[in-house]
Structure 1
């Protein structure tokens, strides 16, 4: 059964300035990395004098292997100074495919597989960084099936 429940959209996205914590981790350490980074970022952003301007982001750089190069960040209203954990990062602007996944995070890897196949079927090439925008926040009493995650994949035309 396909997991893409609606048609992905080809659109244009603006570049965004993020405060980011980035690491290369194993898949079994991914949740712990996210929890730790999301715990640290708001205080680091506040102490820098910047403000959070939107929902959190999760970024993936390159293609995963046995490990995954990931970042966790928030869009901010300036360029954060580098610390031991936090660094500035600007998402690329331009043409992108977006898709709103509604449901459990556990299905995201299969959603990505279908989305990347859709991108290839449309003669597009994905960029080096892909990100998720967490439009709903998980809470202990939230139903995982109610989560909305927007996936953003920068693309260019196949040569």
Structure 2
């Protein structure tokens, strides 16, 4: 049984590359998007303030509208905006304050679709209406030597 909690997520800015891609291109997309965002933060003299995130503006089907990147530190917005290479596809996106249902998924990414479905089912069972975008926060980033069983991904589902 998963632990679900409802939280208020403050408005925040995300440095990310928003694209509509084929679902089977997600691994390559994330590798590129997270690397570009981290490099741009570094060029602005900043470090990510938290884990990498993926924001989903549409449900993953054959294609998905998503943005992968990092939350911009509150005092770094101007520096990041100046450091963005226009050819990179990166932009700063404002994610408005929201009430969200949150849970943590422990295990490999192949278990994320089921974890999302359970979160959505739980929210509906509580009488909640869903909003977008939802997002994943990769508490533990994958490495070639990592055991998928040790992975932790927090799932955020905004509510109306």
TM over 0.5: yes
Aligned equivalent of 1:13: 9
Is 1:135 aligned to 2:139, yes or no? yes
Task: Please give the secondary structure, in 2, of the residue aligned with 1:72.
Answer: strand
Cα deviations across residues 88-108 of structure 1 (Å, max 9, x unaligned)?
A: 012222311000111111111
Would you say the 8 A contact 1:23–1:69 is kept in 2? yes
Aligned equivalent of 1:57: 53
Identify the match of residue 74 of structure 1 among 67, 70, 74.
70
Would you say the 8 A contact 2:23–2:60 is kept in 1? no
Aligned equivalent of 2:119: 115
Would you say the 8 A contact 2:15–2:71 is kept in 1? yes
Q: Aligned residues, how many?
A: 152
Identify the match of residue 153 of structure 1 among 147, 151, 157.
157
Structure with the largest fraction of helix: 2
Deviation of 1:144 (Å): 0.4
TM-score where L is the length of structure 1 = 0.88
Would you say the 8 A contact 2:3–2:104 is kept in 1? no
TM-score where L is the length of structure 2 = 0.88
Q: How far apart, in 2, do the equivalents of 1:60 and 1:10 lie?
A: 19
Cα deviations across residues 102-132 of structure 1 (Å, max 9, x unaligned)?
A: 1111111111112111111111111120011
Unaligned stretches of 5+ in structure 2? none
Taking only aligned residues, the RMSD between alpha carbons, in angstroms, comes to 1.5
Deviation of 1:50 (Å): 3.9
Deviation of 1:32 (Å): 0.8
